[in-house]
């Protein structure tokens, strides 16, 4: 019996794997010659990059997930940055949470792995599975190098991540004991009103959306006197308003829409629950507003 090897088209092969990261076992199953597989750069044991380049941060995160699969979740500094929170302090080490039932991994210096019997809540952000802002903050907090760095981390997480000191305290009570006293002391020193929580959550969504910088809390009028409504967030260049609702959408005429203003209305609960979906809604609304003439309204 004669075996015929079908040449592998590298462009199609790379498209099969996000960030061009693959496990060697997968490549062998696809019939990729071993000589070719061994020529690619190894990011982690058994995981290669389908290019000769050094991995980007996103590529290395993907490699870490492939190495630790199945069901691994990113936490710590990388998770916070994927949530859109501008946290300094990345030291090159990826912090993962993995199910206790997963096979044990060969330790590598660039990877810190916590094996858990029950994984905490997680979500998808920018295409990666990440721990919640609260859990990622606390996992990062345990790896800080002093009280000043710890305090900065907690304040940034509250200011940009839409998480309150009370929520961090609740998460801390349910998280591992390691480093808990120092984090508890730092949390106790934070003012309870360290940030406008809704605005912080909205800022996180806007970071993910990647839209031009808006203004905040604007009164929208037709001629400088006739009030049409107020916008929590306003893009003046296109006439787009983002309004947060404490209750359901109000009934009756919509003066802003009638004046040609594009409006995105969001129940406040969704600011915390669906950042990725809201970021996409805002991107779509901004694109539509750009295609329309700017309404003749005044924001002040």
Buried b / exposed e across 68-96, counting CB within 10 Å, b at 16+? beeebbbbbbbbbbbbbbebebeeeebbb
Percent of the chain surpassing pLDDT 90: 29
Q: Taking all residues of the chain, what is their mean pLDDT, rounded to a whole number?
A: 84
CA 102, 107, 109, 112 dihedral sign is positive
**What was the pLDDT predicted at 4?**
44
Q: Predicted confidence band at 274 (pLDDT cuts at 50, 70, 90)?
A: confident
**Domain segments of the chain: what residues?**
13-57, 70-195, 199-299
Give me the torsion for CA of 82, 68, 55, 16, rounded to 10°: -90
pLDDT band at residue 5, thresholds of 50, 70 and 90?
A: very low
Per residue in 158-196, pLDDT (tens digit) is 877 778 888 888 888 887 777 778 888 888 887 766 557
First to last CA, the chain: 80
Average pLDDT rounded to a whole number, residues 99-103? 90
**Threshold 0.95, pTM exceeds:** no
Of 93, 41, 42, 96, which Cα lies nearest the Cα of 65? 96
Domain 199-299 sits in CATH 3.40.960: yes
Which token pair is 247? 């209750």
**CA separation, residue 295 to residues 71, 82, 137, 241, 263 (Å):** 48, 35, 42, 12, 12
pLDDT of amino acid 246: 75
Contact 121, 79 (CB under 8 A): no
- pLDDT tens, position by position, 109-124: 899 999 999 998 888 8
For residue 232, the surrounding DSSP H or E stretch is: strand 227-235
Distance (Å, rounded) from C-alpha 59 to C-alpha 163? 28
What is the mean pLDDT of the segment spanning 264-285? 87
What pLDDT, on a 0 to 100 scale, did the predictor assign at position 12? 75
State how beta strands 128-131 and 215-221 pair.
Answer: unpaired
Show the DSSP H helices in the chain as ranges: 10-15, 24-29, 34-39, 57-68, 76-82, 133-141, 147-161, 165-173, 180-189, 197-209, 255-258, 268-273, 275-291
Please name every residue paired with 111 in a beta bridge, in sequence order, or none if there are none: 94
CA distance 137 to 149: 12
Q: Tens of pLDDT along 223-264?
A: 766 788 888 899 999 999 999 887 665 556 788 888 899 999
pLDDT in tens, 43-83: 999 999 987 778 889 999 999 999 999 999 999 999 998 88
Would you say residue 9 has pLDDT above 50?
A: yes
């Amino acid at each position: 019996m004669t075996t015929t090897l079908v040449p592998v088209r590298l462009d199609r092969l790379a498209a099969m794997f996000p960030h061009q990261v693959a496990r060697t076992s997968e490549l062998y199953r696809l019939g990729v010659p071993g000589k070719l597989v061994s020529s690619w750069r190894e990011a982690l044991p058994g995981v290669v990059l389908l290019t000769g380049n050094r991995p980007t941060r996103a590529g290395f995160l993907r490699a870490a997930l492939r190495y630790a699969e199945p069901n691994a979740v990113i936490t710590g500094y990388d998770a916070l940055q994927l949530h859109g929170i501008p946290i300094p302090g990345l030291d090159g080490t990826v912090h993962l949470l993995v199910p206790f039932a997963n096979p044990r991994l060969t330790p590598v210096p660039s990877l810190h792995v916590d094996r858990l019997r029950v994984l905490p809540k997680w979500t998808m952000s920018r295409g990666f599975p990440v721990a919640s802002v609260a859990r990622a903050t606390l996992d990062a907090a345990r790896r800080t190098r002093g009280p000043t760095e710890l305090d900065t981390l907690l304040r940034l997480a509250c200011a940009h991540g839409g998480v309150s000191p009370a929520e961090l305290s609740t998460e801390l009570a349910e998280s591992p004991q390691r480093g808990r006293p120092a984090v508890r002391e730092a949390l106790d020193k934070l003012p309870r009103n360290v940030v406008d929580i809704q605005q912080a959550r909205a800022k996180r969504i806007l970071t993910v959306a990647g839209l031009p910088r808006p203004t905040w809390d604007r009164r929208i009028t037709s001629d400088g006197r006739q009030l049409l409504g107020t916008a929590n967030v306003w893009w003046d260049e296109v006439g787009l308003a983002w309004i947060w609702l404490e209750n359901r959408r109000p009934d009756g005429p919509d003066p802003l829409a009638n004046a040609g203003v594009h409006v995105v209305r969001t129940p406040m609960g969704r600011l915390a629950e669906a950042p990725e979906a809201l970021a996409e809604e805002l991107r779509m609304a901004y694109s539509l507003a750009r295609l329309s003439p700017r309404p003749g309204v005044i924001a002040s």
